[in-house]
Structure 1
Amino acid sequence: MKQKLVVLSGAGISAESGISTFRDANGLWENHRIEEVASPEGFEANPELVMRFYNLRRAQLKEVVPNEAHKLLVQLEEKYDVQIITQNVDDLHERAGSSNVLHLHGELNKVCPIDNTVFGTTWEGDLHIGDTDERGVQLRPYIVWFGEAVPNIELATFWVENADILLVIGTSLQVYPAAGLLHYAPKNCKIYHINPDETPLVNSKHIFIQNVASKGMKTFCEMIENKK
């Protein structure tokens, strides 16, 4: 039976493909305050702005491709039962070929009605005010905004609870509830963390690889191969 390798990925793995990280040092996202484009209050105040913001993100997604880090995770499926929990809303893991991907914060290429944000429907092109579901209810981006519940957190927790190896890549784990997932790893679970910047969550039990995602993944693959 293959060992279960659970991966928790963040913005750092997508950054190498050219996707902007969630926020810069000024707390802005693509020159917008986070609250303006990533909260129910922001959507209520200016839905056109929010729609336009995610339409641009969706268009940008078509211009980028998976990088080496994404591809190495796919290759690991030959020897491991790989389950990816991602905080990212892009589809680069899927496009690289990963089989099991769970999105914690929603997906850019999906939409949902404003009265039921649990399940998303695939959406191509731009989304506008006036686009509705079959009931006539306005559609919105399928994104988990600040202050909203994270529908997939229970399944993510279950995956981590059953991990033999836990790999954290491209995230400093500052956003909850995703950051709390590490606490559910079994005692005998090996925890690796790839990130260019040090994080206060790293402890003596973690194996920290200080590097960008693609180079860190090469190191990680070498390390686990040598442990076999």
Structure 2
Amino acid sequence: MAWITVKEPFATPPRLTAIGPGDPAFPEIEGTRNQRWAEVDRDGTEPLPDDLATLRLESCALVGVAFSHLAGAEIEGHWSSWAACDLSGARVESLRECTIADTKLTGTDLSEADLSDVVFERCVLQLTSLRMARLRRVQFSDCTLVEVDAYQCHMEDVSFDGSEITDLNVDRVTAERVDLRGVRSLGLQAVGRLDGCLVDEAQLAALAHDLAFAVGLDLERPHDAER
């Protein structure tokens, strides 16, 4: 840990090409099982097939689509926007140049996934797995992260502006330019080394217990807590 003079932006922002519901691009969904292909309405009125082994979403804008029933299917997204979708319980293999807004990611499996140039806006990540995932130029804006498992995750140019973080497992995380200054609340678990992460001085008081336990300090329990 050291005092540093920050050159803004500390974390390089995602590099995105704009895409939205009015874009003429249409999603193509490839299923490796039986070589099945399917088309899905961008407004979510037509449900996704439930027998796909792989979903590749390329250059599309999805609104209100649920992926939670695709147990076992591996989802890949490139140059796409996802709004008000439900990725709960889904398995995500990779995301590149994607904007994901107002979407649920409860129990979503992103372990060992590659995420590059991705923006999460107002999303809820609860019991989400980022174990051994690789994040590069990823932004969490006004998101809620609860009990997210980032064990051995590599984060490079990641920011959390306006987000609330509760019980984030950072065991063996490796970080380069991870900006935590903008979080509204910050709770960490399994804290070891946090090289490459940036906080401001005002956040240190909230982190005092996590940092004390990380270096092996015993703390006397407050007397009123023993009653």
Normalising by the smaller structure, the TM-score range is under 0.3
Q: Which structure has greater helix proportion?
A: 1
Please report the TM-score for the alignment, with normalisation by the length of structure 1.
0.26
The higher-RCO structure (CA 8 Å, 6+ apart) is 1
Please report the TM-score for the alignment, with normalisation by the length of structure 2.
0.26
